[in-house]
Amino acid sequence: EPEVTQTPSHQVTQMGQEVILRCVPISNHLYFYWYRQILGQKVEFLVSFYNNEISEKSEIFDDQFSVERPDGSNFTLKIRSTKLEDSAMYFCASGGAGGQETQYFGPGTRLLVL
Amino acid sequence: QKEVEQNSGPLSVPEGAIASLNCTYSDRGSQSFFWYRQYSGKSPELIMSIYSNGDKEDGRFTAQLNKASQYVSLLIRDSQPSDSATYLCAVKGLGGYNKLIFGAGTRLAVHP
């Protein structure tokens, strides 16, 4: 069964450094998303991406964040200058094949900013 | 502010019992409703989706939707210890790119 994959599974970085989180969505899906979950808190929406552009972004998704689909398979989230409060689990999701509403989540990248 | 509310639990049930999980949402424009299961340190895993008022059954799981009351529930029959997890209710507006809005989740503990 096809699944969303994410790399790396864990990332430790120093405050102020840039990180790139990578995702390979399910191949025939049309919509791509990033969510994050701070430890002990809700899953929060960051950004949605469709037809090679951002469809919607949350207040969290400020100028330090960017997304890209550099080729036909990868979907990346870049944080330019990480802050301590960016420490969280970051989930990529994809959906929208055949008009389906369901979003399928990848295993996540645990980001720790020191 | 669109909100999804869930009782945080823990909801403790004995093995073999029915677990009932509830969720309310604030946005009347919500069109699609999902239950995800999340084990500690893992990603949300889809259990069920429901789009129309009424019940939808899938194996041991039944989702119930009442749009007039803005209420979604999940019943788990014959609960097993492996069902012990946090259950997330998620709500989505119309359109493929619309975001999921998650509740904080209900922690379910099934004891032998």
Q: What is the pLDDT of residue A97?
A: 67
Which residues are bridge partners to A68 per DSSP? A76
Q: What is the pLDDT of residue B33?
A: 94
Return the number of other C-beta atoms located less than 10 Å from residue A113's C-beta. Answer: 19
Interface test with A, best of B86, B99, B101, B107 (most A CBs within 10 A): B99
SS (H, E, C) chain B: CCCEEECCCCEEEECCCCEEEEEEECCCCCCEEEEEEECCCCCCEEEEEECCCEEEEECCEEEEEECCCCEEEEEECCCCHHHCEEEEEEEECCCCCCCEEECCCEEEEEEC
Sequence-separated (6 or more) residues with CB below 8 Å from residue B88: A43, B6, B35, B36, B37, B38, B44, B102, B103, B105
- pLDDT tens string B6-25: 998 899 999 999 999 999 99
Nearest CB to A48 within list B99, B104, B105:
B99
How large a percentage of chain A has pLDDT more than 90? 82
Residue A101 has pLDDT above 90, yes or no: no
Interface test with A, best of B43, B94, B98 (most A CBs within 10 A): B43
Task: Give dist(CA B112, CA B79) in Å, integer.
Answer: 10
Chain A hits for B102, Cβ within 8 Å: 42-44
Instruction: Please answer yes or no on whether A45 and B42 come within 8 Å at the CB atom.
Output: no
Q: What is the pLDDT of residue B95?
A: 62
Residue of B nearest to A58 (CA): B99
Chain A hits for B90, Cβ within 8 Å: 43
For residue A91, the surrounding DSSP H or E stretch is: strand A88-95
Task: Collect all residues from A whose CB is shorter than 8 A from any CB in B.
Answer: 30-31, 33, 35, 41-45, 48-50, 55-56, 58, 89, 91, 93, 95-96, 99, 101-108
Q: Which two tokens stand for residue A96?
A: 């929208």
Q: How confident is the model at residue B41 (pLDDT cuts 50, 70, 90)?
A: very high
Q: What is the pLDDT of residue A10?
A: 97
Q: What is the pLDDT of residue B94?
A: 67
Mean pLDDT of chain B: 94
Q: How confident is the model at residue A99 (pLDDT cuts 50, 70, 90)?
A: low
Amino acid (1-letter code) at residue A8: P
Question: How far is B75 from chain A, CA to nearest CA, in Å?
Answer: 20
Question: How far is B53 from chain A, CA to nearest CA, in Å?
Answer: 17
Rounded to 5°, the CA angle A79-A90-A81 comes to 15
Q: How confident is the model at residue A83 (pLDDT cuts 50, 70, 90)?
A: very high
Residue A110 has pLDDT above 80, yes or no: yes
Mean pLDDT of chain A: 94
